[in-house]
Amino acid sequence: SQVPSDKTDAILSLPLLELSGRLQEGSLSPRTVLYTYIQKALEVTQQTNCVQCFIPECEEQLQEIEKQREKGLLYGIPVSIKDHIGHEGHLSTCGLVKFLGIPEKEDSVLVKVLKKQGAIPFAKTNVPQSLFNYDCSNLIFGQTLNPLNHQKTPGGSSGGEGALIAGGGSLLGIGSDIGGSIRLPCSFCGLCGLKPTAKRLSLSGISGPVDGIVSVLCALGPMARDVDSLALCMKALLCEEMFRLDPTVPPIPFNEEVYSSSAPLRIGYYDTDGYFPLPPCMQRAVHETREALQAAGHEVIAVISTHRSVKEMWDHQHQIEVYRSEFIAQWKELQLDVMLCPVLGPAFTIGFPGKLLSAISSTMLYNVLNFPAGVVPVSTVTEADEEELKLYRGCCDDLWDRMLKQAVEGAVGLPVAVQCVALPWQEELCLRFMKEVETLSRAKRAV
């Protein structure tokens, strides 16, 4: 009621970098921006059930930053956070009833750093029960819907974040990723998202459904509408405050020179892991992106030999470290800078995701290897894709192939994305590659 509708529409249409610039110069106030996004988030969650709770303490943070003389990199930016990222006084349920009635006693390190940089955490978002699912539903808060198509899931486990940002109710969100939990919602909802190397961002104050998961590590990362927003978030978080609060985080600040470079890249690519072929539209996205990258002057090399052992890796988990070493060795032998590959999608019909956990190989591979990996939307599902899907037989025309085919049917107009990967600790290079893919895909769509 405090912000005229014409002004809210103008604010909601601003990209993060432009909004940040206006907040920094004072032509927009943090109060106006915060109320605008709270109002929009309420509207989006009424339609999609994506918000776990709003954070009333955002008013206190608003008053705090209004007093500050120095403005942080995220000054006045409303930020949404995933359910299990600790915020003082609020629940981190992981979608499990057993965590009800146990509010967090203090902010997680990540929330502390966000606040230090002037951001305003204003909402926590929904997750699937236990976090380990490609859907976004639990017995406490219910089912979250994809804002682009309510018959489809927003993905998981950062599905509440995906739905809120895609619906326009948040400009920047923080998710987490073990088996694609940032990348899948971004793929399903048409967003950009980055899974950094594990421990590049602090995990202190982050809850989990069970203890002792060490073979595949969780990573926190940003989700947004464009790659520049991800880069600004990483630049803000990789600061002395995070390194001071959590000494286990390597003190590696954001390398702006790498992100801003325009040097040609040497890119490896593949369109299947050789074990679980993806729907035709996702493979099409890889090939169209490859062609655009080649036309832009980058060197693109087909990579196929590593995938013969993917299935064996899953059958023999103790081979993960051996596989990781072999994969990095081949990467270096080919002198690759980055890798282009598929990501699971398009969005599944609600009800299928829990049955499709075996479909993770193309997405989860880089968690096992602990590589930074990001998702960029490059296209949409066409009528031709839908017709081709009718002839799709997958790898063996077995139960999993048929189930995947049913899950992705009826997706015309929904986003199609690709995955961009770099070697460990090279988040800036991964983001730079994502930015190149984003720029080329936007140019193609504009023609």
157 annotated active-site: yes
pLDDT at 142: 98
**What distance in Å separates the CA atoms of residue 181 and residue 127, rounded to the nearest whole number?**
10
pLDDT at 211: 83
AA identity, residue 150: H
- Residue 380 binned pLDDT confidence (cut-offs 50, 70, 90): very high
Q: What is the mean pLDDT of residues 46-52?
A: 98
112 annotated active-site: no
pLDDT at 271: 86
Strand locations in 243-337, DSSP E? 266-269, 299-302
20, 80, 82, 116: which is the annotated catalytic residue? 82
pLDDT at 402: 80
pLDDT at 33: 97
Supply the pTM of this predicted model. 0.96
Q: What is the mean pLDDT of residues 49-71?
A: 96
- What are the residues facing 219 on neighbouring strands? 177
Of the CA atoms within 13 Å of residue 257, those in its CB half-sphere come to 1
Q: What is the mean pLDDT of residues 252-260?
A: 98
pLDDT at 4: 83
Strand locations in 1-119, DSSP E? 51-54, 78-82
Residue 180's alpha-carbon distances to 131, 150, 313, in angstroms, are: 11, 21, 18
**Sheet arrangement for strand 338-342:** 51-54, 120-125, 78-82, 172-177, 219-224, 192-195, 373-380, 415-421, 338-342, 266-269, 299-302
Q: Note the pLDDT tens digit of each residue in 269-321.
A: 988 766 666 788 999 999 999 999 999 999 999 986 444 444 555 555 556 66
Q: What is the mean pLDDT of residues 207-221?
A: 87
Residue 61's alpha-carbon distances to 23, 124, 191, 353, in angstroms, are: 15, 15, 27, 37
Q: What b-and-e string marks burial along 276-299, b requiring 16 or more CB atoms within 10 Å of the CB?
A: bbbbbbbbbbbebbbebbeeeebe
Q: Which two tokens stand for residue 11?
A: 């604010």
- Residue 396 binned pLDDT confidence (cut-offs 50, 70, 90): low
Q: Which two tokens stand for residue 76?
A: 């006045």
- SS3 state of residue 7: helix
Which residue would you say has higher pLDDT here, 330 or 243?
243
Q: What is the mean pLDDT of residues 165-191?
A: 96
pLDDT at 232: 98
Count of beta carbons in the 10 Å neighbourhood of residue 2: 8
Q: Is the predicted pLDDT of residue 330 greater than 90, yes or no? A: no
Count of beta carbons in the 10 Å neighbourhood of residue 68: 11
82 annotated active-site: yes
Q: Note the pLDDT tens digit of each residue in 76-109.
A: 999 999 999 999 999 999 999 999 999 999 999 9
Q: Which helix (H) or strand (E) holds 223?
A: strand 219-224
Indicate the range of 73-82, 190-199, 364-373 predicted with least confidence: 364-373
**What distance in Å separates the CA atoms of residue 104 and residue 88, rounded to the nearest whole number?**
5
* Domains, the chain, ordered by start: 5-254 (3.90.1300.10), 258-446 (3.90.1300.10)
Percent of the chain with pLDDT over 90: 76
pLDDT at 217: 85
80, 108, 137, 157: which is the annotated catalytic residue? 157
137, 181, 187, 202: which is the annotated catalytic residue? 181
pLDDT at 120: 98
When the pLDDT of each residue in the chain is averaged and rounded to a whole number, the result is: 91
